[in-house]
């Protein structure tokens, strides 16, 4: 064949996507979510942000799963599908643009159907960022990137007293980068600036991943006159660059860069950041137990004096209220089990239950589990027993104690079959059984345990076909290759 005939083929190859980049053996997979269609106000930037990020990531060899305006069930199903495709050694990235909240030092992403009416409904109706990170880590992927462009001015945060603004700082597990579009506790405008600068930085050839986020931080800080300062934390030790093609010849002229101000000094991290996040979440609380919990956890902490003063003021108010005669309040119909039926229990039951819930809300899972078990032993017929059994099960599940979670969820179904949370309990029983069936990181499963999980998930779909949990159950059955029926 003549060389002149090969020339057009060669020129065409130069135009093909990915030409000039090395062939990659590793899987690069990204989940990009944009939530905009909230009932109390539509966001404008996330759609453009997510499409810009998806385009930039595809240009660097990522396979991108793009989803928009998801409910909680759809978000959980998307994460399940995403993590189900990851393999050991892969590069995994999640980019989320939408609303988010922090509560008691934990961060939650808000689906478009999140019905947030009280602090207690945030963990129920939001998506826990920590759980998403744990799911990704379980895949043994080599690099894990979690980018949260969710630090917007949220009407829920303004409506509920005592909520700290923005998102909380986080500790990055091994091989993980966590990035926020603005520093913890900060609020950013819905302007798309962060996504635009990140999309530029990740295209710089050979730039290490840590420097990508540092450069993004500097560019956004300069462009907003320091009113929006992004934040990131990394525990990545392996080398990784989004654009990992070989660098150009050292004599080549480097690309022009826009002068930016130097980044601000590093933010606090680790134990100090955790203490700060807890303090911000309780500093405006009207609940004395919140300050008692802080003082118990941090007896020599930075905010001890403030906590003691707030506790003393609340105790003085309580003492005054006790001296004032109170007219009896008419009884009313107890709410459902999903809402906490405070009026239906005796004072002793209520106090013991509230103490267990307070422990759980502040992250003291093991003492909380002990407290819930004691409550169930002392008050098996209490109107609060169904909720206590649920929270005991949920605590085991969130901590990854799937054998205990499966037992506790099974007990909840047997003892409280009419609980309004039954669809969720049945789903999480199936997910616990699935986790127990997994034999190793490759995804191999014990046939007997897999059949048990498939049967439970099928029951979710059959008994509650219109519930949001049925969507996730179907997704899980497909992922596990469950037989029909």
How confident is the chain (485 residues) per 10-residue block, as mean pLDDT?
Answer: 47 45 77 93 91 95 95 92 91 96 91 89 91 88 95 82 85 91 86 94 94 93 87 91 64 44 43 66 73 75 74 66 42 37 69 82 76 90 90 82 90 89 90 79 76 92 86 82 85
Check: CB of residue 258 under 8 Å from CB of residue 75: no
- Domain 347-479 sits in CATH at 1.25.40.10
Q: What is the spatial distance between Cα 256 and Cα 278, in angstroms, rounded to a whole number? A: 43
Q: What is the spatial distance between Cα 190 and Cα 321, in angstroms, rounded to a whole number? A: 44
Q: Give all strands (DSSP E) within 115-224, no chain letters.
A: 127-128, 143-149, 176-180
User: In this predicted structure, what is the pLDDT of residue 353?
Assistant: 86
**What are the b/e assignments for 354-367, b being 16+ CB within 10 Å?**
bebbbbbbbebbee
Check: CB of residue 110 under 8 Å from CB of residue 100: yes
User: In this predicted structure, what is the pLDDT of residue 200?
Assistant: 95
Q: What is the spatial distance between Cα 310 and Cα 305, in angstroms, rounded to a whole number? A: 9
User: In this predicted structure, what is the pLDDT of residue 204?
Assistant: 94
Task: Give pLDDT tens digits for 76-133.
Answer: 999 999 998 999 999 999 999 999 999 888 899 999 999 888 888 898 889 999 889 9
User: In this predicted structure, what is the pLDDT of residue 413?
Assistant: 93
Contacts of 328 (CB under 8 A, 6+ apart): none
For the chain, the structural domain boundaries read: 17-234, 285-327, 347-479
Name the class of domain 17-234: alpha beta
DSSP letters, 58-76, are: HHTT-EEEEEES--HHHHH
User: In this predicted structure, what is the pLDDT of residue 319?
Assistant: 54
């Amino acid at each position: 064949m003549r060389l002149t005939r090969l020339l057009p083929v060669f020129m065409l190859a130069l135009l093909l996507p990915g030409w000039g980049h090395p062939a990659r053996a590793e899987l690069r997979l990204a989940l990009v979510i944009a939530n905009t269609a909230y009932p109390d106000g539509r966001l404008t930037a996330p759609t453009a942000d997510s499409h810009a990020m998806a385009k930039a990531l595809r240009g660097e060899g990522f396979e991108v799963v793009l989803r928009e305006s998801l409910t909680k069930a759809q978000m959980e199903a998307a994460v399940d599908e995403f993590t189900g495709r990851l393999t050991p050694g892969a590069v995994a990235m999640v980019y989320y643009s939408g609303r988010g909240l922090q509560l008691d030092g934990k961060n939650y992403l808000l689906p478009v159907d999140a019905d947030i009416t009280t602090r207690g409904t945030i963990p129920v109706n939001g998506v826990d960022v920590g759980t998403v990170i744990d799911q990704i880590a379980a895949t043994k992927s080599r690099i894990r990137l979690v980018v949260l462009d969710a630090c917007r001015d949220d009407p829920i945060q303004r409506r509920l007293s005592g909520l700290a603004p923005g998102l909380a700082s986080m500790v990055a597990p091994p091989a993980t980068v966590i990035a926020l579009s603005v520093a913890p506790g900060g609020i950013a405008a819905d302007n798309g600036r962060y996504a635009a600068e990140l999309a530029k930085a990740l295209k710089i050839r050979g730039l290490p991943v840590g420097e990508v986020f540092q450069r993004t931080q500097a560019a956004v800080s300069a462009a907003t006159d320091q009113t929006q300062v992004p934040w990131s934390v990394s525990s990545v030790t392996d080398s990784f660059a989004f654009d990992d093609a070989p660098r150009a010849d050292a004599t080549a002229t480097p690309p022009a860069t826009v002068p930016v101000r130097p980044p601000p000094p590093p933010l606090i991290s680790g134990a100090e950041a955790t203490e700060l996040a807890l303090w911000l979440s309780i500093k405006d609380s009207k609940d004395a137990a919140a300050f008692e919990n802080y003082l118990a956890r941090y007896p020599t902490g930075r905010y001890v004096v403030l906590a003691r003063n707030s506790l003393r003021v609340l105790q003085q108010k309580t003492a005054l209220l006790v001296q004032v005669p109170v007219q009896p309040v008419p009884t009313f119909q107890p709410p459902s089990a999903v809402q906490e039926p405070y009026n239906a229990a005796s004072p002793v039951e209520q106090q013991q239950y509230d103490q267990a819930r307070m422990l759980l809300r502040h992250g003291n899972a093991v003492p909380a589990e002990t407290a819930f078990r004691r409550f169930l032993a002392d008050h098996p017929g209490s109107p609060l027993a169904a909720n206590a059994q649920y929270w005991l099960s949920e605590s085991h599940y969130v901590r990854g104690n799937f054998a205990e979670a499966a037992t506790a969820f099974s007990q909840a179904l047997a003892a409280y079959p009419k609980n309004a949370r039954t669809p969720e309990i049945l789903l999480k029983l199936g997910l616990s059984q699935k986790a127990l069936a997994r034999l190793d990181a490759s995804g191999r499963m014990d046939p007997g345990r897999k059949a048990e999980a498939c049967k439970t998930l099928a029951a979710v779909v059959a008994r509650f076909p219109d519930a949001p949990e049925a969507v996730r159950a179907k997704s899980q059955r497909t992922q596990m290759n469950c037989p029909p029926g």
